[in-house]
Structure 1
């Protein structure tokens, strides 16, 4: 890729036949049928928009009961009738499913509390592209209203494309022959956010009809969302090595820091270059007050055209298109205490006991010599276009069931992000508070009020980054299923075999342009133009909803530059961003899978027993190319990109077995065992080198990465009591090996590090880090409990009331990636999660209240050393519906009605790193079903 031009995609992509191996009897039962079980025809009419939450739960139970292996499902009403904002939030009510939230919005899905990258996602049997840059799917781009059913499979069969170590999320959209009659559904709502005080519209409809042998269905959803978040955040640990290793003209910073440390704490450091010591004495990296305004426009369309001339042949074309435009304004008043020209001045308070087991001393309250005060106006504009097409064939021919699929899933994501930065260096005092941190005027006469001194802030830069990601996935499959009735071997009920081919490619282009003057190459504004030379707006006017919700004692308010002004002023005529070679990468991956499996049905004593057993062979080849970024050999400032590419491949054989035994009517013993995998993120495979100047690190891609594997088994009891009642308990274990970790793989000596203004910061040894498959294996075990029942089972006076509850508890020996050896679970893994819903409904009225809880989990590892935990979080949502007529229903819904905050901390809650409010959301809608 040169001068911003993309390297062309490979031509003539071959689509071979392949396999998922399932009986597709009806489109919305695709996920349930993926286990290779023949479905009863009566289920075809069950996955429809009924308007009844209790009925939708009954249908989900039917799918669970008839499915081989461990799974849970939700269907149309359950998806669409809760106050969720996207598909991720609709899934959070399923057993073992939780979500990761970003400023009050569900974004990624965790199954059984395992990290999101351990989950495999498909839509209509196609692996799903989302433009995330990794393999994880950004669920916030999907509108829940266009989804008909979702099944989460927790024990795979040989017919599954990938099992996912955590599980597989199988999403289905509707087809016209799913309905007996013509169907038309339309809904509209307006939603109010308590902080932004904006009202957001959402409209959706579904239309379906059949015309003899042909049928057509279209569904559309269009929504807008405006959400404001006020946050005290960015309060991470920074190691004292930031200053203690200074040399040359900057050595005074090391000398003063060490002297102040000894004077105020009594701690003496004999070897200032010993990072094992200096990295365990930490202070605030930055304290920021931030106001976010997030505006989203989302649309989604599904279309299905079906030809079904007989009960033995069906041909269906499915299309799913969507767009997700997300613009986020962030206004940040921050104090960067770890500035390159600063040092300790006075330590007012420190903590040597809380983290003593890790040898860490935290400087809680410190005055600094030259804090870098920053006003940052950031604009993040993301546009994602999603497209998916598939052609499915189901054909019964002379006792064989033949199923075929050809499909494409693609996403294009463009991100335009900018950061206007004004800086003022001066002494200040920063300290922890109960919910975060605050910066105040210090005793030094040169200190000033950082929030209300615009004349002291000098223009530093206006940086614009442009990124494009193209994510393409092609697939073809062919399955053969043969039901058997053998006198010699009556237990063998069915055999199934097939093949699947997938071709995936992910390509990224990225570039940066930094403005420091009124035209290209001009730096006349830098350190001359002040903040007050620009048009300033009070923070309460920059974001709708009024005053900033401060979490610090000094209750700051401030004015700064709006992003619209910044865009109009600093993007001069002719401004553009060219893609940089050093930022380019592309990964191509081809997978050919062959499988065979069999279903056995027989009685053990008087107990009907079903066993599904099979094996899958997977052959994978990877071609990765990008640029290797190294420092200029002539000693000049910068780094030279060198093109580089590499091939990789691996083969696997994955067995699986699933068993169910009906101990007595309604009581099932279920068991499963398998070996499964999840492939590494394509961005980690990309053959490239990037530099992290602040961390003194190079990071290399690794095309030789292999998947993470799991040997897993599960045993459970499921008790189906009458209509709509289920009690279930299961125990599962997973032995996980080949976990992808970042590891130190080398050192580059004597790297010259430059400041933003071109001056030399110093000469350092840069460590090389690379993602590798860690040695050894790790154990994860857990218990999952489900209770779903109408309360009239307890007493007839409770008719209409019901409970839907589930609980997952996890125990694991997995450890995180802290360079200091601090024990921590992997990012995203929570020990306990549960969901609890109480509901009531009759012919005209329904009400639900739901509480979702997720235990604390590691959000990220700051500086690769200090685990930052997202605090345990529980949210309460409600839904009230009134059936005005047989066809029209009015719905009142509330999200986060108790206005819970989200917060985070570094290692221990006494060191908060983030505290933010995203508010509650109340919506009023009307739904018509004809």
Structure 2
């Protein structure tokens, strides 16, 4: 292992070697040597410059505080802005996947879905603005965009994660928000043989199920060779009880001129019960500001996951100047989600207002809005929905890495493949009953109850009133493959005429990525193909009904005091899928995108003094050239009114090239105080779904929607400035300010017109000849700014007072601001969707030789989740979750742990414009686990 002096921070591929040398960890066992001792022992070459040296000792610990020290070391010796977590924090703190492990890093928040962390947001930007790599290879996950679904990765097989927030020219481009760099373990990370095994059982408070998890690692070296394998498997059964779907709906739904008599009745009821006189039914700006409540759903979700991951590493290392490493990472992720939904759709096409019981003209009066809080409707669409979602993802990654020092050059190379195949199978058994009902907001959500109309029903206990509509199915398959090759050359320099120039580095990378997607859907309406005899004949009562709280484990519905019965998904699959049924793929939904990228870069490192201050500077530029070939099928309408497609795929080429400069600098103001600065231009490539050249048609709307292979990336010009105080006890105090100017954001826009398109009726007769608008994703004109600051405090408290020995805190705070406003057609000012103004994390820990305890609180401020109907901002409430971990080392090699996730059973809530108009209320429960780990 090598040591780099504090005056010479490492950059590019050399950082990765240093990080691995500093940070030799796995599954809670840390192999570490204090850097301070190494600095004191560093030898000096004849030219007076510090030179790398061999380390004499390695200490194996399982200390959380030591893992924080190692993360601080990585941060300090990185030329750019970064933050890291390492194996003790990744695998030994309560989390259900890798996303939840990352949420404790400065500037990192996660998106939660039914109690589970899924995607990662860095500095408040969308998840698809984050670039993710594993062992320096960009990662495929089978998602439809550039984002990575972190919930598919088991955290136990991960060694280290670094979020790089300011790139160098050597870093693969991509990641306006930042780059998440994930590393797995290698055999020479350990001094000889290493064996680690752990087992855990976790209990969810709502499902009341106990889930197992198991992992192990085995590593050994023999002479010049080393081998390592690791494996992790986990099951998760989580139940979520929720009320949701309670969004605003504009009164134009009922008042549009096309609604006829229903609209006239709505006008009369508005004037009679609320004193609202509508000037013009055709004036949407007026009618869209009269609000009623959309669909209310009482839902139970049961999410069952089976996840496994494995790594293997074979390393040939005959000397410290040469190593050749083969790394493999394999995994599988299967998730089955059952949703049982009793819902009432007040805005049905048959319905209108009957009686307004309560309305609110004050809460949103600043927007000119009146909200109907409590209304009886003439024909509410009541629905019982049994939904089943099956997601199956297989991912694999292989790479061959070279590290070679020869003839004064440091040569690193990489060849690799990353691939994922994802299949999604969806089904929805739908029964519908139209009847008068009364829908209103309640304190936490909404409810539908019988109205005063004699024809009303008790929607939860009237199975004979519900008629079969369809058993809807869809099937999607995505194949995502990426090949990459990279070669880097670095030359340390000692030039008499330019002593400040310490190294030059250059290299190139080639990547070839292909993503192919097939999709299809088919509705079953009878016992045979093409048979629709069940529609409006078969009732809900004709199927096997069971209380939903018997179908799913865990007992009573916790979101409300409710009981109802539905059809289980198991029964629906057995009963409604007739022999030989298969969901066919739709040619019009097929696309394939091939993308090739060639990148060349060059950069230099300078080390010099300004007065008594050592300064390190890295500057460089990266040239990227991208070509895109995309194809799909275009729709045509057959004479019988059905949709057909072109016989051959329609293809289109696109491409772009650019030069991306980068600058990073550190100045060691004192031995412990560092000034850090960075500036760069970076990009994020458009989602492959947007550049796929396919056309979909909406015949009733006279619109075509195309992909756009000519899309260019979204660019960001960014800079950051920070101060970092490194404490003698391994602690850190840091503050930084950053600013990003983002250009070329992707939006949908009208780009053309196709004239004289024939449109046919369902019976095959000609409806007419029309001009069709063509919409495409395009790069928007203009730019917007995102700025903010981060504060970090990581401190062992024993130096403050002897009574605090063993205690410590690890905390960070991020404040964000964006100039971009959400797009509300009503002119309602709203932040960029997904952007939380502030987020903070706080961990208090205690540890000694035998015992350790940690409590962590993670907070994300309220943010706009979406904009309903492009009009009404829908907010996700601020969310804070408390997690706990307690461990006791029975012997030097065996440790038992007790962990809790969301120990205070915090609910997830949301609202539209004001908390008095809630949209969701979800309970996913707490998760308590008991684990045992042994390491030898």
TM-score (norm 1): 0.93
Aligned residue among 641, 645, 653 for 1:647: 653
1:166 match: 177
Aligned residue among 619, 622, 625 for 1:619: 625
**1:131, 1:491 → 2: CA distance?**
46
Q: Structure 1 residue 256: deviation in Å?
A: 2.1
| Alpha carbons 2:338, 2:389 under 8 Å: kept | yes
Moved more, 875-884 or 110-119: 110-119
1:496 match: 505
| Alpha carbons 2:615, 2:668 under 8 Å: kept | yes
Moved more, 148-157 or 48-57: 48-57
**1:228, 1:639 → 2: CA distance?**
42
**2:867, 2:50 → 1: CA distance?**
47
**1:30, 1:460 → 2: CA distance?**
62
Q: Would the alpha carbon gap of residues 562 and 92 (structure 1) be closer, same or farther in structure 2, given more than 3 Å must change? A: same
Aligned residue among 280, 298, 304 for 2:289: 280
2:33 match: none
2:458 match: 449
Aligned residue among 649, 660, 663 for 1:657: 663
**1:612, 1:431 → 2: CA distance?**
61
Paired residues for 1:379-458 under 5 Å: 379-458=388-467
| Alpha carbons 1:27, 1:178 under 8 Å: kept | no
| Alpha carbons 1:897, 1:921 under 8 Å: kept | yes
**2:823, 2:910 → 1: CA distance?**
18
Aligned residue among 208, 221, 225 for 1:210: 221
**1:765, 1:425 → 2: CA distance?**
37
| Alpha carbons 1:901, 1:918 under 8 Å: kept | yes
Q: Would the alpha carbon gap of residues 415 and 709 (structure 1) be closer, same or farther in structure 2, given more than 3 Å must change? A: same
| Alpha carbons 2:257, 2:281 under 8 Å: kept | no
Secondary structure of 2:282's partner?
coil
CA RMSD of aligned residues (A): 2.8
| Alpha carbons 2:343, 2:382 under 8 Å: kept | yes
Secondary structure of 1:88's partner?
helix
| Alpha carbons 1:628, 1:687 under 8 Å: kept | no
C-alpha offsets along residues 841-887 of structure 1, whole Å, 9 cap, x if unaligned?
A: 00000000000000111222222332221111000000000000000
Q: Structure 1 residue 28: deviation in Å?
A: 3.5
Q: Structure 1 residue 909: deviation in Å?
A: 1.7
Secondary structure of 1:61's partner?
helix
Q: Structure 1 residue 383: deviation in Å?
A: 0.2
Moved more, 115-124 or 481-490: 115-124
| Alpha carbons 2:545, 2:567 under 8 Å: kept | yes
Q: Does 1:339 align with 2:348?
A: yes
Moved more, 94-103 or 752-761: 752-761
1:145 match: 156
Aligned residue among 722, 731, 741 for 1:735: 741
Secondary structure of 2:633's partner?
strand
Q: Structure 1 residue 612: deviation in Å?
A: 0.3
| Alpha carbons 2:315, 2:325 under 8 Å: kept | yes
Q: Would the alpha carbon gap of residues 312 and 279 (structure 1) be closer, same or farther in structure 2, given more than 3 Å must change? A: same
Q: Structure 1 residue 284: deviation in Å?
A: 2.0
Paired residues for 1:120-135 under 5 Å: 120-135=131-146
Paired residues for 1:534-573 under 5 Å: 534-551=543-560, 555-573=561-579
Moved more, 138-147 or 163-172: 163-172
**2:825, 2:281 → 1: CA distance?**
18
C-alpha offsets along residues 405-435 of structure 1, whole Å, 9 cap, x if unaligned?
A: 1111000000110000000011111111121
Q: Would the alpha carbon gap of residues 501 and 836 (structure 1) be closer, same or farther in structure 2, given more than 3 Å must change? A: same
Q: Does 1:201 align with 2:243?
A: no
**1:543, 1:908 → 2: CA distance?**
34
**2:654, 2:724 → 1: CA distance?**
44
**2:566, 2:395 → 1: CA distance?**
36
1:25 match: 17
Q: Would the alpha carbon gap of residues 348 and 788 (structure 1) be closer, same or farther in structure 2, given more than 3 Å must change? A: same
Q: Would the alpha carbon gap of residues 761 and 716 (structure 1) be closer, same or farther in structure 2, given more than 3 Å must change? A: farther
**1:25, 1:55 → 2: CA distance?**
20
1:609 match: 615
2:250 match: 239
Which consecutive unaligned segments of at least 5 residues does structure 2 have? 1-10, 25-48
2:6 match: none
Q: Structure 1 residue 505: deviation in Å?
A: 1.3
Q: Would the alpha carbon gap of residues 503 and 854 (structure 1) be closer, same or farther in structure 2, given more than 3 Å must change? A: same
Q: Structure 1 residue 138: deviation in Å?
A: 0.2
**1:393, 1:416 → 2: CA distance?**
41
Q: Structure 1 residue 470: deviation in Å?
A: 0.5
TM-score (norm 2): 0.92
Q: Does 1:889 align with 2:900?
A: no
| Alpha carbons 2:22, 2:73 under 8 Å: kept | no
2:44 match: none
Q: Would the alpha carbon gap of residues 187 and 691 (structure 1) be closer, same or farther in structure 2, given more than 3 Å must change? A: farther
Aligned residue among 301, 317, 322 for 1:308: 317
Q: Does 1:114 align with 2:125?
A: yes
Q: Would the alpha carbon gap of residues 20 and 815 (structure 1) be closer, same or farther in structure 2, given more than 3 Å must change? A: same
| Alpha carbons 1:501, 1:593 under 8 Å: kept | yes
1:898 match: 904
Q: Does 1:60 align with 2:52?
A: no
C-alpha offsets along residues 366-400 of structure 1, whole Å, 9 cap, x if unaligned?
A: 11111110000000000000100000011111000
**1:38, 1:652 → 2: CA distance?**
38
**2:701, 2:359 → 1: CA distance?**
24
Q: Would the alpha carbon gap of residues 626 and 867 (structure 1) be closer, same or farther in structure 2, given more than 3 Å must change? A: farther
Paired residues for 1:692-703 under 5 Å: 699-703=705-709
Higher RCO, 1 vs 2 (CA within 8 Å, ≥6 residues apart): 1
Q: Structure 1 residue 287: deviation in Å?
A: 0.4
**1:170, 1:43 → 2: CA distance?**
26
Secondary structure of 1:256's partner?
helix
Q: Would the alpha carbon gap of residues 906 and 759 (structure 1) be closer, same or farther in structure 2, given more than 3 Å must change? A: farther
**1:402, 1:145 → 2: CA distance?**
31
Aligned residue among 372, 384, 388 for 1:375: 384
Which consecutive unaligned segments of at least 5 residues does structure 1 have? 1-18
**2:557, 2:23 → 1: CA distance?**
46
**1:611, 1:184 → 2: CA distance?**
41
Q: Structure 1 residue 246: deviation in Å?
A: 5.3
Paired residues for 1:431-830 under 5 Å: 431-551=440-560, 555-629=561-635, 632=637, 634=639, 636=641, 638=643, 643-690=649-696, 699-745=705-751, 769-830=775-836
Q: Would the alpha carbon gap of residues 392 and 759 (structure 1) be closer, same or farther in structure 2, given more than 3 Å must change? A: same
**2:831, 2:324 → 1: CA distance?**
47
